[in-house]
């Protein structure tokens, strides 16, 4: 249980999850303890009565600068952290010829170097990679830094074929 204070108002919150670790940016998910009053209620009401628009807490989306578009495909990969010798078998949330996003509660920190292994048809591909985004409690974006251009193109073509193969199944189940 932690206390959150806004001005002279306080409320207690229960910690639901923690992401990050020593020397890393920490993120904490909290839930207000039952019976507590929101400590920022006065500010919330002031915004409402002043007819002010809420302040956006998210950055506007940046234009996509990727060379290859990502596909929302569950694609099996293995992530290896050489510094501690650990392997993580996981499936991607999306993937393209230059990188992927994987969902994990405890992602690696930004700029962490890792090794990615996956199968492209019957060929085992291993490449160096780097963590480009790290969203605690959500996942991480990984750039494939060691793939040659020809392998990137081959991977992208393979992914596009998988996406096309999956499209009729999605439509049959009523998905967009």
What number of other Cβ atoms are within 10 A of residue 17's Cβ?
13
What number of other Cβ atoms are within 10 A of residue 34's Cβ?
7
Q: Which of 64-73, 96-105, 121-130 has the lowest mean pLDDT?
A: 64-73
CA atoms 23, 103, 99, 115: torsion sign:
positive
pLDDT of residue 132: 94
Q: Is the pLDDT of residue 176 over 60?
A: no
pTM flag (> 0.75): no
pLDDT of residue 53: 54
Question: pLDDT for 113-158, tens place per residue?
Answer: 999 999 998 999 999 999 999 988 888 999 999 999 999 999 999 9
More confident residue, 44 or 127: 127
Q: Is the pLDDT of residue 103 over 70?
A: yes
């Amino acid at each position: 249980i932690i206390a959150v204070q806004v001005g002279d108002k306080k409320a207690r919150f229960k910690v639901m999850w923690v992401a990050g670790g020593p020397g890393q940016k920490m993120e904490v998910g909290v839930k207000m303890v039952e019976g507590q009053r929101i400590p920022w209620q006065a500010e919330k009401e002031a915004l409402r009565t002043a007819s002010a628009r809420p302040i956006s807490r998210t950055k506007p989306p940046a234009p996509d600068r990727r060379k290859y578009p990502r596909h929302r495909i569950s694609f099996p990969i293995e992530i290896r952290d050489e510094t501690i010798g650990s392997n993580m078998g996981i499936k991607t949330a999306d993937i393209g010829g230059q990188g992927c996003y994987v969902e994990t509660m405890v992602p690696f920190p930004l700029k962490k170097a890792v090794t990615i292994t996956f199968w492209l048809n019957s060929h085992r591909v291993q490449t160096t990679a780097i963590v480009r985004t790290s969203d605690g409690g959500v996942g991480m974006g990984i750039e494939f830094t060691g793939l040659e251009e020809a392998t990137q193109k081959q991977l992208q073509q393979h992914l596009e074929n998988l996406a096309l193969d999956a499209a009729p199944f999605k439509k049959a189940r009523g998905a967009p």
